[in-house]
Amino acid sequence: MPYIDGFVAAVPTANKQKFIDHANHGDPVFIDQGATRVVECWEDDVPDGKVTDFRRTVQAKPDESVVFSWIEWPDKATRDAGMKKMMEDPRVQPENNPMPFDGKRLIFGGFVPTVTLGPERVPSSYVDGFVLPAPANGKAAFTDFAGKYDAIFMEYGAGRIIEAWGDDVPHGKQTDFFRAVQAKDDENVAFSWIEWADKAARDAGNKKVMEDPRMDPANQGDTPMPFDGQRMIYGGFIPVVELRA
């Protein structure tokens, strides 16, 4: 079963090119260790939220931008072995490839895809990223809801959608995925994204989705939203690094 490592970071906006260079130097290590794809996305349309948002997730400062990234692996065993070997590779050692951002505020975790729509290789230059809390015992409800309503996004132009359920998500000292969405003790975290051909397709598609009567809570019938939407964080991002095996 495929496996996902998800990341969110705050990077000084002035260090964008340094971040891209850092990723292009270090990310091939993941591919060498068995990952099938690595994508690094730079913030483009990341709104401030009333309760939670991406900027608060990583305690971003006014002069910092949010990066939303993921690594795709063929399975968890490959991921676990690859991550262990990766730490020994000189290409990721600080002295050889210094991190151009505050790693203490980086959040990360391992996730299992529960919904996958669209082909693996789809032309995309825009990404909508999401992180949300859901009851720990609500995996099936989350999967059913996502599968039903993600199909509407596909109808309106989305190229690929992944919904992934928290599996190996650590608690951090300063930041982590649980704090990002104010998760309760009995909640888990989901990490998801939608890939679009470009921003114009994304804007048009999202507009049509919001106008579709099937998205009206009054019409959701026996498939109500199985999570607290007020604590969901979301935003639009532009891929700046993409590597494939």
Instruction: List, for residues 130-164, the tens digit of each pLDDT value.
Output: 999 999 999 999 999 999 999 999 999 999 999 99
Neighbours of 70 (CB within 10 A): 24
Range of weakest confidence among 75-84, 171-180, 199-208, 213-222: 213-222
Q: Which two tokens stand for residue 17?
A: 């090119």
The residue type found at 210 is M
In this prediction, residue 187 carries a pLDDT of 98
Helix (H) or strand (E) holding 115, with range, is strand 107-117
Q: Which of 245, 204, 177, 189 is closest to 39 using CA atoms?
A: 245
In this prediction, residue 221 carries a pLDDT of 66
In this prediction, residue 60 carries a pLDDT of 97
In this prediction, residue 222 carries a pLDDT of 64
The sign of the CA dihedral 109, 243, 116, 200 is: positive
List, for residues 101-132, the tens digit of each pLDDT value. Answer: 999 999 999 999 999 999 988 888 999 999 99
Q: Which two tokens stand for residue 98?
A: 């210094």
46 pLDDT band (50/70/90 cuts)? very high
Instruction: Compute the half-sphere exposure of residue 18: CA atoms within 13 Å on the CB side of its CA.
Output: 10
How far apart, in Å, do the first and last CA atoms of the chain sit?
17
DSSP state of 147: H
- Do residues 189 and 170 touch, judged by C-beta distance below 8 A? no
DSSP letters spanning 60-98: --TTEEEEEEEEEES-HHHHHHHHHHHTT-GGGSTTTS-
93 pLDDT band (50/70/90 cuts)? confident
Neighbours of 143 (CB within 10 A): 18
The residue type found at 7 is F
Task: Evaluate if residue 183 carries a pLDDT over 90.
Answer: yes
In this prediction, residue 91 carries a pLDDT of 86
Task: Evaluate if residue 165 carries a pLDDT over 80.
Answer: yes
| Residue count of the chain | 245
223 pLDDT band (50/70/90 cuts)? low
Mean pLDDT value of segment 80-108: 91
CB burial class (10 A; 0-12, 13-18, 19+) of residue 87? exposed
Helix (H) or strand (E) holding 204, with range, is helix 199-211
Mean pLDDT value of segment 47-75: 97
Mean pLDDT value of segment 4-18: 98
The mean of the pLDDT values for the chain is 95
3-state SS, residue 146: helix
Domains and CATH numbers, the chain: 3-242 (3.30.70.100)
**Torsion angles phi and psi, residue 183, rounded to 5:** -65, 140
In this prediction, residue 234 carries a pLDDT of 97
